[in-house]
A and B are shown apart, each in its own frame.
Chain A
Amino acid sequence: MPRLEPLKFAPIPPTRGSNGDFEAIFAQEFSYVWRALARLGVSEADREDLTHEVFFQVYRRLPTADLERPLRPWLFGFAFRIASTHRRLARHRFEHPCDTIEALDATPSAEESLERREAQALVDRALEDLGLEQRAVFVLHEIDAYKMPEIAAALSIPLNTAYSRLRLARDRFTAAVRRLKNQRGTP
Chain B
Amino acid sequence: MKSESLGRLDADIAALLRAAEPYADAPVDVQARVGKALAARIAGVLAEGSPRESESNQLEPGAALSTTPRAHGPLSLIAKPIRTIAATFLVGAAAGAGLHAAVQVPRERVVYVEKWAPALAASSAEPAGEAAPEGAVSPALEVPREMGPSVAPPAAAPPAKSTSARASDLGPEQALLDAARRALAEGRSADALGPLERHAQRYPKGILVEEREALAINVLVTLGRYDEARSRSDRFLRKYPGSLLRAAVEAAVRAMP
Contacts and interface: CB of A to CB of B under 8 A. Distances in A.
A146 interface: no
Interface stretch (B95-103, B134-142, B144-152, B221-229): B95-103
Interface in A1-25: 1-2, 4-5, 7-16
A132 interface: no
Given A63-B112, A89-B66, A156-B100, A30 B1 contact: no
A49 B15 CA distance: 33
Given A4-B35, A119-B19, A174-B13, A13 B26 contact: no
Interface in B1-48: 1-3, 6, 9-10, 12-14, 16-17, 19-28, 30-39, 41-43, 45-46
B114 A56 contact: no
Contacts of A117: 21
B42 A59 contact: yes
B82 A53 contact: yes
A46 interface: yes
Given A64-B96, A65-B96, A38 B34 contact: no
A148 to B, nearest CB: 6
B117 A49 contact: no
Given A85-B61, A90-B77, A160-B1, A119 B33 contact: no
A9 B33 contact: no
A166 B9 CA distance: 11
B42 A10 contact: yes
B65 A89 contact: yes
A116 B19 contact: yes
B247 A166 contact: no
Interface string B61-102: 110011000100111011100100010111111111111111
Contacts of A99: none
A174 B99 contact: no
A79 interface: no
12 contacts: A2-B28, A7-B38, A16-B112, A31-B25, A49-B74, A61-B97, A64-B97, A64-B98, A66-B101, A85-B65, A153-B97, A163-B1
Interface of B: 1-3, 6, 9-10, 12-14, 16-17, 19-28, 30-39, 41-43, 45-46, 61-62, 65-66, 70, 73-75, 77-79, 82, 86, 88-102, 110, 112-118, 242, 244, 246-248
